[in-house]
Chain A
Amino acid sequence: MPKRTDIKKILLLGSGPIVIGQACEFDYSGTQACKSLREEGYEIVLVNSNPATIMTDPEFADHTYVEPLTPEFVEYIIKKEKPDAILPTLGGQTALNIAMKLCENGVLEKNKVKMLGADYEVIKKAEDRECFKKAVQKIGLDVPRSAFAYNIVEARKAAEQIGFPVIVRASYTLGGTGGGFAYNMEDLEKVAALGIESSMIGEILIEESIIGWKEYELEVMRDHKDNVVIVCSIENLDPMGVHTGDSITVAPAQTLTDREYQNMRDAALAIIREIGVETGGSNVQFAINPLDGRMVVIEMNPRVSRSSALASKATGFPIAKFAAKLAVGYSLDEIQNDITKETPASFEPTIDYCVIKIPRFTFEKFPEAKDILGVQMKSVGETMAIGRTFKEALQKGLRGLEIGHVGLDNKLDYSAISEEKVQHRLEEPNASRIFYIKYALQKGWGVEKVAQVSRIDIWFIAHIKQILDLENTIKESFEKEKNISTSLLRKAKEYGFSDVQLAKLMKSSELEIRKVRKERGVIATFKLVDTCAAEFEAYTPYFYSTYETEDEAVIQIAKTATENGKKKKCIMILGGGPNRIGQGIEFDYCCCHAAFALNELGYDAIMVNSNPETVSTDYDISDRLYFEPLTFEDVMNIIDIEKPDGVIVQFGGQTPLNLAHKLNQAGVPIIGTSVESIDLAENREKFSELINSLGLKQPANGSAYSTAEAVTIAERIGYPVLARPSYVLGGRAMKIVYNQKALLSFIEEAAEVSEGQPILIDKFLNDAIELDVDAIADGKETFVAGVMEHIENAGIHSGDSACSLPPHSISDHLIKQVKDHTCKIAQALKVIGLLNIQYAIKDDEIYVLEVNPRASRTAPYVSKATGNPLAKIAAQVMTGRKLAEYNLSNDHIEKIKHFAVKECVLPFSKFSGVDVVLGPEMKSTGEVMGIADDFGEAFAKSQIAAGASLPKKGKVLISVRDEDKSAVVRIAKKLDAMKFSIVATLGTASLLKKEKIEVEQIQLTPDGKTDLNQILEMIKNDQIDLLINTPSGERSQSHMALMRASANLHNVPIITTLQGADAAVKGIEFMQNKEFKVKSLQEYFQMKNKVKSQDQKVCS
């Protein structure tokens, strides 16, 4: 059957802000779905609150709503747009949950919206653990023993029957939130209480522990004719007990015989049929007892998932794209496999390489949290590596992780680690266990012992032993002969050893190894990812490197050149690698746009990236895709064969910038702002000179190369100071330091972060307003694309600060000055491409805080807020086009009639015990945008979208530092007038009383201090609807930390600055008096696919 003609307009839900457990893989799936459905002529209405996504670019859908992803807002959009159908299976758990709600409250039925992909009953059956278990048992499959509980008494009873240890899982959550292990009753009570609270329906499952069993996952596709195919099998290196998102995983499954694999396949087919997922992708997880092969079903997702993105990238089979086509009525045999062009999609991909996925953690950002892994997901990103063997893939993956490892290296000296520590690090799953496997083997442990202690399959351990054995052979050979043979060198490369690793083993340098290698003909070859293990000719240029005899990229480049008469000019874009806090989807957005922009100008775009969640690693974004680690060696290998006419390093965040120097020295043609200018901006002394010479102001500052120097500088400029290492992104290790003691401990920490680079010390401007400016320059002209006013004070990392575009409290006069400053700096730095500057305004004086001549995190947000495609223009400018060729004007900011408020989303709930206070080190994982004609409305929307909706009524707890006490009166008065009741701590309360504001005061303890317990009780009992708490200095930060942590846990919105409180008041004012409106980006910017309907008033 061809596509459905009874539907014309489809509503697609995105997944909202990036959070742990739900990252940019859903931008990838949503973008594919948009493209694939529009290709079929459907009109697409898209809702996603995340402005950093590619899918929310106005050209990807007909009606793009950057509005909160809540059932209420989606209902407004349904009423306005009247879609025929909703496709909820491509936007993660968020989209699925919203669709479920809209179904339950009758909105879909009332508005005659059909559900595509999976209907209510199916989702319920798959997601509700009890329903799922029953369904699985009905078809004769095995599941772990388990029982449900809705309170602690039931939980205790269930655990008694099942026997410890047990796993507790909360129903309807994502990323395993609210789950955990319990080894005894005491554990159980804690974990169960948390689980019941975090479940949408107060339900937990208590389950037989199958910790240590082998874990597998199958990716399944089904069409409406009941044709089912398995796209990929995945085997986890970390056995059961570690969330799949936090596990190192391998594709295809390695240690299953065909008989066992086919049994698993049969089970997956039976499950998808029994659950009844009509069309699209799903995944099913299994566990196998390594001793007897007993197979149990763990769970299924009736939607495209993180693993689907991985499976797509691992095989070349575009799951989301096909899922969208199947949803509108096609069957698998009616869809063509893009890669082979002659075979249909109704086949099972087979691969001729090994794929490994390694999660990336960010425990260094949350020193209070332990790096222990369990059933709750904690990783913030992942890298994927492809090799011909597991050994090669593993080492490529480890260097692609960008955490300072150059492979399975020797970062720690194994002899300095105690046996106990090794034992402990192997037993308890943690972020660096893979390296401890090697340390254990180096200490002489046998593979059997390592496998037994870690419960990781011996197959993996034995491969790691092979890597170690070869390393020892190289060392010995080098010690004996001061050289190694070409065959050994080749073998080392086949085992995935990087040049840096070899250089360390052979006391040489990376460049020297590279030279020798090339002289001896040991050079990387590129192979194609083609879904079919070379059985059919492939047309999709998706490559990975390995050390073999034939290079298919070279063959393809030559073939295309012959066909076209000559080689097309090509430009290489270096991507951002694995997501981390401070570097994620925003940079992928820029890289994708660069590819589109270059294509438009007739260049071939070559993409290099190692992150499987991204849109940029989709094979139809660029002309040639290289799925490779972003290291000097791996990038140079590609440059050697591609010989690009230009390389773009300013779009992928810090990752490619860190390579810029070496690439430049190697003669690589880096286009855009020169490496020298990038350096100038990073070099504090030279930069200060430049700022002075331009007649601009900077906070007093200095660079310290020694501890003594740092102390002197800090004393000269006066505490508090902002201290940070140079060359880092996301404010890594940046801190506001109030005294010398704190400075000394900071220096100790910083040494680890930026080896050999100076520490930068700035005067910290108390209570300044911070501005972020994004601009594009072509070497002469500068276009100021966006000026954003931070809602938080200066000193809070810009990535963590809510901000407003245009500024909501700055005079036009100051904005004009800021624009002038920006143009001056851009000119002085000879910027070609993107530029981001942070300014602080204090007492109407403008200070330049930081200049980054590269794409910023805010570039996509500015594009969505202003309608100007920043990254695209910048990429074209980098190839030599002039800004004058675009229709741009520098006074567009003053003309903007709406407000776009960006708010960040923080991962604190994932790391228990971590304080929620923001500082100069970035901690947020994602962002949302609220856009409206009124600032209050935009701010209120941004808060709803970020999951912390402002209250319309209720009780506000106010506790502010002394400096803010007088200013808070103004805010309290407004809240009072808006009928909020106010509770305050002693100081604040007495002041408010003086101002005749009715206020309840928090009790004092016998020793005269604020009774924290009373506050915690009130928060716990849901008596507080809003918390305004401005922390002062260091002492008070820890004092109130518990209060904020508790508020965070109980979903009470927290405001930590006065600016934030002002904005909140405006938002509440709006919510009390007016109704929310929804408006598409196409309407805001009067784009081509403009819709006729007017703004529609909807109820709030």
Chain B
Amino acid sequence: MSKAILYLEDGVHFFGEALSFVGESAGEVVFNTSLSGYQEILTDPSYAGQIVVMTYPLIGNYGVNDEDSESSKVHVKGFIVKEFCRHHSNFRATKSLIEYLNEQNILAVEGIDTRALTRHLRVKGAMRGLISTKDFDLNSLAQKIKKVPSMEGADWVKEVTTKEKYIWKNSEDKESKQKYIVAAIDCGIKFNILRILTNKDCEVHVFPSNATVEEINKINPDGIFISNGPGDPAAVGHVKETIRAFLGKKPVFGICLGHQITGLALGGKTFKLKFGHHGANHPVKDLLDNRIGITSQNHGFCVDIDSLNKDDVELIDINLNDQTLEGMRHKKFPVLSFQHHPEAAPGPHDAQYLFDYFIEMMKEYKK
């Protein structure tokens, strides 16, 4: 174990101990309040460019397994916990979390008062931070952190999107009837979205985020899906343009970053939340039937409700904690998007039914 420092851009810092991977790593520091699901969180491409702090203090309890990753690698810039578990226990585990983080060369730090850190981020807002195991000079760290790019205006999508188009295959051998062809624009897509859509009889073609409208139209999709992903939605203008091209022409369904970009495509604006929503306990009210679902969330930006033209856009989901927008649809076109994660992973399955809306839209469209 080597000593490590987490230095925040406002000068506040915490000391802890790093696992075997050492060095320096910087990113936006955010906290996640999920009690379980660290494997999903680590591999969620939406965390690219971020250092994640887990508020639950005991992490690694059930190890890591072969089925629960949300992408093929760990995306976080750093991982901060109170205590890593030294002896995991779960019948599906194939290795320990510590082994996994070491394999993936992730700067992972334990022994930090994560509650104090979380409280600080809550009050001051998410901010840049730098983990170092070799430089403990506060002046030097202060200089280094100035050079870390801000999350606002940053295009992280290009770092995580697929290089090549591919068709998703579920590992379970269940035969997909492939009733619908979906073009998924990969801004950092989570595997569980692909699993669910495929289970719902979709043949999902995953496109790089910069795929052109022509390339997408080549497969003659029944619906366009815009995925979740990292960074500032305003920085990925090309995806906004792609969506615009399909508005009114094909059913469009967006999740998280995909929802934000859809908001921009519909003429709205996005803004950065103070410390974002990262957890699995957010109450969302479905304004269509007034039911409340507990949802999984992971976003630092948000569509500004006031910026939307209410003649075109209907608000359909609202966050009950802070009244921010959680879902919207177009009044004339088959366009639907959600800020939260109906695919969960990790988190409750309360909102999984929303995928059916997308299927419905495509069914309608095919008629």
Contact = CB atoms under 8 A, between A and B. Distances in A.
Binding partners A and B? yes
Interface of A: 225-227, 229-230, 233, 252-262, 265-266, 290-293, 332-333, 342-344, 346-354, 388-390, 447, 457-459, 462-463, 465-466, 527, 532-537, 548-550, 552
> Nearest 6 pairs between A and B by C-beta?
A462-B87, A258-B37, A550-B116, A258-B346, A533-B55, A459-B89
14 contacts: A225-B292, A229-B294, A255-B61, A257-B68, A265-B349, A347-B294, A350-B33, A352-B33, A389-B57, A447-B87, A459-B85, A534-B118, A535-B31, A548-B115
B87 A458 contact: yes
Contact of A266 (B31, B92, B291, B349): B349
B113 interface: yes
A262 B348 contact: yes
A256 B36 contact: yes
Contacts of A459: 61, 85, 87-89
A258 B87 contact: no
A462 B90 CA distance: 14
Given A255-B61, A347-B283, A389-B82, 4 more contacts: A255-B88, A256-B90, A342-B321, A463-B87
A502 B210 CA distance: 62
B71 interface: no
Contacts of A226: 291
Contact of B57 (A290, A353, A550, A552): A353
Contacts of B35: 233, 252-253, 261, 350-351
Given A389-B83, A533-B33, A534-B122, A225 B291 contact: yes
A689 B87 CA distance: 62
A349 B89 CA distance: 24
Nearest to A340: B321
B360 interface: no
Given A265-B348, A291-B91, A550-B115, A258 B292 contact: no
B344 interface: yes
B55 A225 contact: no
B39 interface: yes
Contacts of B55: 350, 352, 533-535
A533 B56 contact: yes
Interface in B266-309: 279-283, 285, 290-292, 294
Contacts of A255: 61-62, 88-90
B67 interface: yes
A389 B86 CA distance: 13
Contact of A535 (B33, B68, B348): B33
Contact of A256 (B31, B62, B282): B62
A861 B16 CA distance: 54
B283 to A, nearest CB: 4
A347 B320 contact: yes
A390 B68 contact: no
A343 B320 contact: yes
Chain B's interface: helix, strand, loop or mixed, by majority?
loop
A537 B119 CA distance: 9
A217 to B, nearest CB: 15
A266 B320 CA distance: 22
A389 B345 contact: no
A257 B118 contact: no
A212 B338 CA distance: 43
A259 B290 CA distance: 27
Contacts of B57: 352-354, 388-389
Contacts of A346: 283, 292, 294, 320
Interface in B116-146: 116, 118-119, 122
Contacts of A253: 35-36
Contacts of A252: 35-36, 56
B342 interface: no
Contacts of A532: 33, 281
A252 B56 CA distance: 10
A952 B114 CA distance: 67
Interface string B22-54: 000000000101111101100000000000000
Given A258-B345, A389-B83, A532-B33, A550 B113 contact: yes
Nearest to B118: A534
A990 to B, nearest CB: 71
Interface size, B (range) = 35 or more
A350 B348 contact: no
A342 B320 CA distance: 9
Interface string B87-123: 1111110000000000000000000011110110010
Contact of B113 (A256, A333, A548): A548
Contacts of B92: 257, 293
Interface string B336-354: 0000000011111100000
B58 interface: yes
A257 B65 CA distance: 9
Nearest to A257: B62
Contacts of A348: 280-281, 294, 348
Contact of A352 (B61, B91, B115, B122): B115
A18 to B, nearest CB: 33
A388 B57 CA distance: 6
B58 A227 contact: no
Given A344-B320, A548-B116, A550-B119, A258 B68 contact: yes
Nearest to B37: A258
Contact of A262 (B62, B86, B88, B349): B349
A535 B36 contact: no
Contacts of B320: 333, 343-344, 346-347
Contacts of A447: 87
B89 A466 contact: no
A225 B62 CA distance: 35
A339 B210 CA distance: 46
B62 to A, nearest CB: 5
Contacts of A332: 292
Contacts of A463: 87
B281 A350 contact: yes
Contacts of B39: 257-258
A333 B83 contact: no
B292 A227 contact: yes
Contacts of B321: 342-344, 347, 536
B345 to A, nearest CB: 7
Given A462-B86, A534-B55, A535-B118, A254 B281 contact: no
B61 to A, nearest CB: 5
Contact of A388 (B14, B82, B122, B346): B82
A868 to B, nearest CB: 45
Nearest to A293: B91
A527 B82 CA distance: 14
A961 to B, nearest CB: 60
A548 B15 CA distance: 12
B86 A354 contact: no
A535 B349 CA distance: 22
Nearest to B290: A225
A774 B230 CA distance: 69
A348 B281 CA distance: 5
A347 B89 CA distance: 29
Nearest to A549: B113
A346 B345 CA distance: 21
Interface string B299-331: 000000000000000000000110000000000
A610 B62 CA distance: 29
A354 B55 CA distance: 12
B56 A457 contact: no
Contacts of B62: 254-257
Nearest to A466: B86
Contacts of A292: 91
A168 to B, nearest CB: 29
B68 A349 contact: no
A350 B118 contact: no
B283 A344 contact: yes
Nearest to B112: A549
Interface in B204-253: none
A549 B119 CA distance: 12
A512 to B, nearest CB: 27
